[in-house]
Amino acid sequence: MLSVGLTGGIGSGKSTVARRLRDLGAVVVDADAVAREVLVPGSEGLSRVTERFGDDVLADDGSLDRAALAGKVFGDANAHADLEEITHPLIAARTTELFAAAPDDAIVVHDVPLLVEKHMGDRYHLAVVVHASTAVRLERLVGRGVPESDARARMDHQASDGARRAAADVLLDNEGAEEELFAQVDALWRDRLVPFEQNVRSGSILRRPSTPVVADYDPDWEAQGSRLMARVCRALGERAPQIEHVGSTSVPGMGGKDVIDLQVGVRDLREADDPEFVEALARAGFPRVEDYRMDHPTDDLPDPSLWVKRFHGSCDPGRVTHIHVRELESAGWQYALLFRDWLRGDESARDEYARVKEDLAAEHASTADYAAAKAPWFSEVWPRMQSWAQRTGWHD
């Protein structure tokens, strides 16, 4: 099963996207609908709400008078907290039931208005954000009869556009016609969601192109790395006491292969062989690659046992990701962090590495040949990295 979080500001067209995804075959779990469901007449939720707030929050037909309830909790932090204490566990339990009821091969879309505000993005394989400018959303809301002042007030209580962009693995632009939005949703479904689900179910990873390509620096690499680290952290919990974004995409301003490299630190590498550890990453969309278990030793640390690791790839056809699981403080762990921080801190080293990559990418037709050609340079710069570490007082 693939889980997708869907969100967007009021008036962005999120509900339109949810309907389109449902038409394409997704199982849609509507957070607002679930919140209403747990407070229907006769429910435990409504009984507890009336016990706390009184029968005057009920309409004549016994249903919840939402306006009356809002009047009770508006501006009262304690009352609002009491309401959440009643409803949130019920909503969570019902949502879990709906996810569990979905078929094994389902693409489950969780339509959540406050996904960004509640920092929920790491719960899903992907977070999809529907975007439209403030002006466009205001025009839509006013056209539906919402007073402009009310619309602005509701927008002010939601996440900013910048926060939504930072949370988005996929950003759907809904500034234009509905047909244009549908085209984006259909492409997302066909090209990313369907193959992603199939890959998760089969344990297949996305591999980078066989031809080495050095891409220009992408300012979004940092946010992508942060989102992926959050998902890995949620999957592994205390089993991964430290997770780092490493490799070329972790160095601001420097180009490189468009691959997000994460380093997961474990206290003992045997923990990474625990079936629960392996399965947790696989469920999150990061299956293990069994035949990749070694880093390249440096000349002054040639003992292979110092460079053993475990490796996981990603099922996401839209984002090549490599996860290197290493023991904390091992040679491989320290090298990856020192190399990253050296490049971040030394502009000349950063420029040199960029030239080396560009030259070798032009000379070699395969990624294997490209990687082998780079290996001597890594050994060559190791003393310079150590000197920089001593000079700056670096420590991992």
Annotated binding site for ATP: 11-16
Contacts (Cβ under 8 Å, ≥6 apart) of 201: 1, 104, 105
Q: How far apart are CA 254 and CA 344, in angstroms?
A: 9
**Binding-site sequence positions:** 11-16
The kind and range of the H/E element at 172 are strand 170-173
Distances (CA, A) of 124 to 4, 26, 28, 167: 5, 14, 14, 12
How big is the CA angle at 330 (ends 324 and 331), to the nearest 5 degrees?
90
Q: Residue type at 178?
A: E
Helix (H) or strand (E) holding 35: helix 31-37
Contact 151, 141 (CB under 8 A): yes
Return d(Cα 220, Cα 225) in angstroms, integer. Answer: 9
